[in-house]
Structure 1
């Protein structure tokens, strides 16, 4: 099953997508179970309740769902945490050594966008870049966890994420300015779906991206330096992770920062996909134009 939120921005409704053996899909409303896909829903066993309701045939089919906008599959999280340089080849193309401990940064939660929403390039930006990333959704409060094995039980599910990054804002100068380059409006499209953790193996998922139909990234989560359980365990030593929080786990090689590809321009169409977690598509425009 795939958890989605459908509708206009700020008025999304929760639903579940079920794929039949023949590949056809049906959408069922979750309004009888929850008002939204948020921390309270996840912490309260919401995913198990959805499974039970589907098995009992107790959820009404949502007509016209295919024509509705897809929002982020989780409501605005309390925390949105980024992991940097988590693939060795991407660290190399960024001019950095692979990290010995996770590189951590925070993004404002108001950067979250739907997976197919049009995306704004900042007015003064010349180096706007893409990053396909595996996203983790926290399902149980995590603090000072004793091991990665324990941390795995605090993950509710996974989703596709894009960490749009302005490199001229992020990198120049002796100290760098990651916050400036990673916090732009609409710079974290999430979705299209949230897939429960017990329904997918995050250890070997293909990640790909394309700009105007031309391939850019093509890698696997098997190449992650720090896997999802290790990331959650590490973060829990430094911050309180709460249900509904989202962690984006880093991007593989193949971004514009490598020098092999041009940066995003107004009119470009970016697509990115993670195996089993769905595809995003954003069309870019110049903010203020």
Structure 2
């Protein structure tokens, strides 16, 4: 099942994608894709619906982030062995955890705003895990029981603010629009093995990242279990799980960064694609 949110920013309604690729309105069934709506019982009720019985949404509305109301937008850094190698960083002994500002969250096809004065804005296609039930001190064995589904994420990063301005990574990761998510949440029953998904990112039609979740250092189970030891994960919370090689920072001999007018297109096997245009900050 593919669940989504559509409509103007701040006024999105819940929906699902039918077998023909059309959007069906769920607002008469649930108020939004948040909290208890992501529980196993709620997802089972939604899966039992006949999409044809739901109002069809006409046209091509804007898609918002497929979940809302989260308390945490957690990210894992340097979580692909080949990405760590391209940046010259050692393999982490434990997951590197940081947070994105909730203001970074944006729709999958919304414009991405390059911050004022930025010359090092970068792309990062990532598998995003969406939590369905509260997770605190969970084991790896039970970690996936807390997952509602998966989505495509773009952990847009400003490398100067991330690494050259002192302090933690959060500053370079939390600018407005730096967390495109979607186009939809794909429930976990459709993704039996999150550790075997191909993924890509193109910039202006040129393939920059071409990777797989197989090269994760810490898999989804490990990440959820680890993060739950220090951050209570609530329904609707999102974890960006790291990026494969091919980011602009790692380009040799000279790093390459994003400029206004460029277009990013990225996707993950079974989870769909998203596309953003880069615009300069006002």
Which residue of 2 is the match for residue 248 of structure 1? Answer: 240
1:159 touches 1:193 (CA, 8 Å); kept in 2?
Answer: yes
d(CA) in 1 for partners of 2:8, 2:72: 23
2-structure distance, mates of 1:180, 1:236: 23
Contact 2:25–2:57 (8 Å) recurs in 1: no
Question: In the alignment, which of 129, 145, 170 is matched to residue 122 of structure 2?
Answer: 129
Superposition CA RMSD, Å: 1.4
Cα separation, 2, equivalents of 1:16 and 1:116: 17
Q: 2:184 aligns with which of 188, 193, 199?
A: 193
**Residue number in structure 1 paired with 2:267:** 273
Which position in structure 2 is the counterpart of 1:168?
A: 160
* 1:61 maps to 2:55: yes
CA contact (8 A) 1:72 1:192 kept: yes
Deviation at 1:176, TM superposition (A): 4.8
Alpha-carbon offset, residue 128 of structure 1: 0.1
TM-score, structure 2 as length reference: 0.95
Corresponding position of 1:49:
45
Aligned to 1:262: 256
Q: Distance in 2 between the 1:48 and 1:191 partners?
A: 21
2:29 to 30, 33, 41: 33
Which residue is equivalent to 2:74?
Answer: 81
Q: What is the alpha-carbon distance in structure 2 between the residues aligned to residue 217 and residue 273 of structure 1? A: 10
Using the alignment, how far apart are the partners of 1:25 and 1:179 within structure 2?
Answer: 36
Cα 1:91–1:208 shift into 2, 3 Å: same
Q: In structure 2, what is the equivalent of residue 213 of structure 1?
A: 205
Q: Is 1:282 equivalent to 2:276 in the alignment? A: yes
* Structure 1: distance between partners of 2:277 and 2:24: 29
Alpha-carbon distance in structure 1 between the residues aligned to 2:78 and 2:57: 43
Hey, what's the Cα distance between the residues in 2 that align with 1:27 and 1:180? 36
Once the two structures are superposed, what CA deviation does each residue of 1:254-277 show, in whole Å capped at 9, x if it has no partner? 000013452000000011100111
Unaligned runs of at least 5 residues, structure 1: none
CA separation in 1, counterparts of 2:201 and 2:103? 24
Q: Distance in 2 between matches of 1:43 and 1:108?
A: 24
Once the two structures are superposed, what CA deviation does each residue of 1:37-77 show, in whole Å capped at 9, x if it has no partner? 0012113722111111228x6x323231x410011111141
CA distance in 2, matches of 1:97, 1:12: 42
Aligned residue pair count:
279
Provide structure 2 residue ranges, at least 5 long, that are not aligned to the other structure: none
* 1:119–1:283 contact (8 Å) kept in structure 2: yes
